[in-house]
Amino acid sequence: MEFKVSTKTGEVSFSIQKKLYALELVQGAAYVLTDRAVDYVEEAKGRYELTLKAKDKADATRERLEALAGEFVNELLNHALRQKLLANNRSIMEHIISRAMVSARRDPADPAQPPAAAEQELNAEQRAEIDKLIAEAEAEIAARRKATAKPDPRGIAKTWEERYGKERTG
């Protein structure tokens, strides 16, 4: 395979035969290198024209650009192998997503789902108990608000701003 290197622009160009690799594989291999290079893929008759432009100027040497192109070719071979190894997962993916979504929803028609215990599903005794809980909590909150005016010897009720005079960030 012939690599055309330009150290001036930090690019290496080469072509991949279409009959050997699908566009999906070329794009997949290019994606893996996007941490180090900007990848350009163009379609020509019977081939794909690839240009990899190094992101880091330190990689714009002939040796490193050729190594980058070599890495791309190795990645392409691995991508093809991995693709073959893995089953086409699209139908599995759709099934998994729909399964997850359906399972997470409340379905009133599903007798297997536990009750939501909405207000009307509680008995009079339970509703009275809730009213009592609310009244107790309201009284406690009111008492606490009053108590915040009390001395604070350890200073834990003081704000950061009061203590250190810096601007509040929240």
Partner 1 sequence: MAKSAPAEDSGRLTRYADAGSVSLADNLVSAAAYRKVGERYLVTNDIGHFAQLEPADFKAYLSGSLQKGGELWKELQGKGFVRDHLDFDGLAEEYRNKNNFLFTAAPLHIIVTTLRCNYRCLYCHSSVVGLDQVDKDMTLETAKKTVDFIFQSPAPTLILEFQGGEPLLNWPVIKFITRYARLKNQAAKRNLFVTMVSNFSLLDEEKYAFLVDEKIGICTSLDGPADLHDKNRLFLGGSGHAETARWLKRFQEQAKGVDGKKHFNPGALLTTTRYTFGRSKDIVDEYVGLGLPGIFLRQLSPIGFAKRSWGKIGYTSQEFLAFYRETLDYILEINRRGTPFFERAALTALTKILRRRDPGYVDLRSPSGAALGVMAYDYNGDVYTGDEARMLAQEGDRFFRVGHVAKNAYNDALDNPVTKAAAMATLLENQPLCSQCAYRPYCGLDSVYNRAAQSSLWGHMPTNERCKLYMGLFDIVFEKLQNPRDREVFESWTREQ
Cβ proximity to partner 1: between 45 and 106 the closer is: 106
Strands, E, within the chain: which ranges? 4-6, 11-17, 37-44, 47-54
Site of interaction with partner 1 (CB under 8 A): 27-28, 31-35, 74-75, 77-87, 89-90, 92-93, 96-97, 99-101, 103-107, 110, 113-119, 121-123, 126, 129-130, 133-134, 136-138, 140-141, 144-145, 154-163, 168-170
Instruction: Please state, as a whole number, how many other Cβ atoms lie within 10 Å of the Cβ of residue 67.
Output: 14
Phi, psi for residue 156 in degrees, rounded to 5: -80, -15
Least distance from partner 1 to the Cβ atom of residue 13, Å: 21
Least distance from partner 1 to the Cβ atom of residue 59, Å: 15
Cβ proximity to partner 1: between 44 and 117 the closer is: 117
Pick the closest to residue 74 from 66, 63, 86, 62 (CA basis). Answer: 66
